Structure 1
Amino acid sequence: MNPAQVRYLIFFQYIGTKYRGVVRLRPNESCLGVQNYLEQAAQKLRPINTIKFFISSRTDSGVHALCNSAHVDVQRAEGKPPFTEEILVTALNHHLKPEPIRVLKALRVADDFHAQYRAQSRTYVYRVVTGCHYSLLPVFDRSLCWAVGEGSLNISAMQEAAQYLLGTHDFSAYRSLSSDAIFKSPIKTLDQLDITPASGHMSHHLPYNDLQFWELTFRSKSFLYRQVRRMTGALVAVGQGRIEACHVKEVLETRDPTVLSKYAIVAPPDGLFLKHVAYDETDLKTDENLTIS
């Protein structure tokens, strides 16, 4: 009798600065993806199957995750019971040291569950800071935010511009020009776009009284490649007075991704965090009688 194979949904976080994104790269690359390290850690648990993580949400080089997710199948040798959720988390974190990657939670799910396709929404947060040049940014916040300059931002103008992006639109003008982007539908629904004050990680303990942190929160079922970074760049340009709020709508209506470069730069990866991947609660309920194969 073959031992059971169990599927787990894994929630994990990472600081993306040293990685070439989240997805697996060839082992001979000089810089790997987060997935490489997750799979290496899981393979050290000595499963009898080849480990593969199916990532729910791709992130680029330098982009971080407060909580990303993936599913993985683990098959143990005959006579050994499946890992409990708690033991799996502890064991993976042990083998991930010293990488800035941490498994937050594991849930046993049905064997037809798919982390990417069952996701109901994805929430990203982009952190910007005003009040200093990047070279003077506190070391605790470097690579974790975008220093947009010494001047303040016109937040009310940014919030006005944000209203034009909410709802269902053809976001072609805010997608990347990369060759693979054209194969995905540009029609997306942006359910949330908030701009709220925030704080630095450690800056309030230091003599940086002029720093002002802001968080731009975006939520949608899915996003186009670099859509969040391009929208952020446009909104910051509005906040700096380089363009009017209405220009954000005008760019959107062109459906031309080349137009945006005339108005704004693409926000760098440093300040972008995948915050949350949401699922239907019925997919996440642990059933002791769950059939596994």
Structure 2
Amino acid sequence: MRFAMIIEYDGTDYSGWQRQKNGISVQQRIEEALEKLLMKKITIVGSGRTDKGVHAEGQVAHFDAETDLSEFKIKGSLNFFLPEDIKIREIKRVADDFHAQFDAKSKVYVYNTYISRVKSPLKSRYYVQIIPPLDIELMRECAKKIVGKHDFSSFSVKNGDSPSTTVRLISRLEIIEKGDELTFEVEGPGFLYKMVRSIVGTLIWIGRGKLSPDCIEKMFDSGDRALGGKTLAANGLVLKKVKY
């Protein structure tokens, strides 16, 4: 039997989603809880990795298990065993050929910031501070240039992985204002390493007048990461939803 879960977690104290040789991961904690419940080792497969310090509201994962327990009982028991910063929001039986990673059509990430000259102690765990002034309308105009299919090598950070292609599709990029909060919502089928954080950092640098609006075209043309803005911190990023 195959089960799918929607998982919410605060990634602050974890080395990321995926199991690591050094450091505790979200995947590890969930697999440990499943082992306590089902009395055998279970491997879960997530829709994708989130990096160290990144949060999730709607991560999706699947696992296989033969059990007579109801979905309600599995969910309640897992949440009992899991720490307070990881919880299962939903769990349901799915088709045996469902795959959390390969069946995903798109992912929605949000990056949370607030505009203030004074750092907020209450927001600092989940938001990143932006010092004003900030030209938000200019940022929105520049965001339109990012939507579509491009080579995003200049909006990513190199790591040990070598993707077969650095071409990605951004289907939606919205900048939402609410009081002093500024949220960037980005949707696409897949993302390069630190791609969302690099996109948001570049837009903010443009909004603050530290970069020219034409830097986006130059980045796409050259593939030069150095032409863009700062790669922002992990704590502002949330995997909001995975669409199937």
Q: State the one-letter code of the partner of 2:65.
A: V
Query: In the aligned structure 2, how far is the partner of 1:190 from the partner of 1:145?
Result: 23
Displacement, 1:174?
A: 1.1
Matches within 5 A, 1:68-217: 68-76=59-67, 81=68, 83-97=69-83, 99-133=84-118, 136-137=119-120, 139-149=121-131, 151-180=132-161, 182-198=162-178, 212-217=180-185
Count residues with an aligned counterpart.
244
Q: SS at the partner of 1:117?
A: coil
- Identical aligned pairs, as a percentage? 30
List gaps (5 residues or longer) in structure 1.
1-5, 200-211, 280-293
| Residue 8 (1) aligns with residue 6 (2) | no
Q: Over residues 141-173 of structure 1, what are the superposed CA-to-partner deviations in whole Å (9 max), with x where a residue is unaligned?
A: 112011122x13111110111011101111111
Q: State the one-letter code of the partner of 2:72.
A: E
Query: In the aligned structure 1, how far is the partner of 2:175 from the partner of 2:15?
Result: 28
CA contact (8 A) 1:47 1:75 kept: no
Structure number, greater radius of gyration: 1
Query: In the aligned structure 2, how far is the partner of 1:164 from the partner of 1:45?
Result: 49
Displacement, 1:106?
A: 0.6
Query: In the aligned structure 2, how far is the partner of 1:112 from the partner of 1:264?
Result: 42
Equivalent in 211, 216, 219 of residue 248 of structure 1: 216
Query: In the aligned structure 2, how far is the partner of 1:56 from the partner of 1:263?
Result: 28
Displacement, 1:187?
A: 1.4
Query: In the aligned structure 2, how far is the partner of 1:110 from the partner of 1:100?
Result: 29
Tell me the TM-score normalised to structure 2 length: 0.95
CA contact (8 A) 1:174 1:227 kept: yes
Displacement, 1:16?
A: 0.6
| Corresponding residue number in structure 1 for 2:18 | 23
Query: In the aligned structure 2, how far is the partner of 1:47 from the partner of 1:184?
Result: 39
Equivalent in 183, 197, 204 of residue 236 of structure 1: 204
Displacement, 1:262?
A: 4.0
| Corresponding residue number in structure 1 for 2:26 | 34
CA contact (8 A) 2:8 2:59 kept: yes
Q: SS at the partner of 1:17?
A: coil
Q: SS at the partner of 1:147?
A: strand
Query: In the aligned structure 2, how far is the partner of 1:89 from the partner of 1:141?
Result: 30
Query: In the aligned structure 2, how far is the partner of 1:14 from the partner of 1:39?
Result: 14
Displacement, 1:25?
A: 2.1
List gaps (5 residues or longer) in structure 2.
none
RMSD (CA atoms): 1.4
Q: Over residues 244-288 of structure 1, what are the superposed CA-to-partner deviations in whole Å (9 max), with x where a residue is unaligned?
A: 22211221221x2xx333442111111000000011xxxxxxxxx
Q: Over residues 44-80 of structure 1, what are the superposed CA-to-partner deviations in whole Å (9 max), with x where a residue is unaligned?
A: 11345x200101121111111111010011123xxxx
Query: In the aligned structure 2, how far is the partner of 1:46 from the partner of 1:8?
Result: 13
| Corresponding residue number in structure 1 for 2:234 | 269
Query: In the aligned structure 2, how far is the partner of 1:265 from the partner of 1:72?
Result: 37
| Residue 53 (1) aligns with residue 44 (2) | yes
Query: In the aligned structure 1, how far is the partner of 2:85 from the partner of 2:234?
Result: 17
Moved over 2 A (4+): 259-263
Q: SS at the partner of 1:245?
A: coil
Query: In the aligned structure 2, how far is the partner of 1:23 from the partner of 1:52?
Result: 11
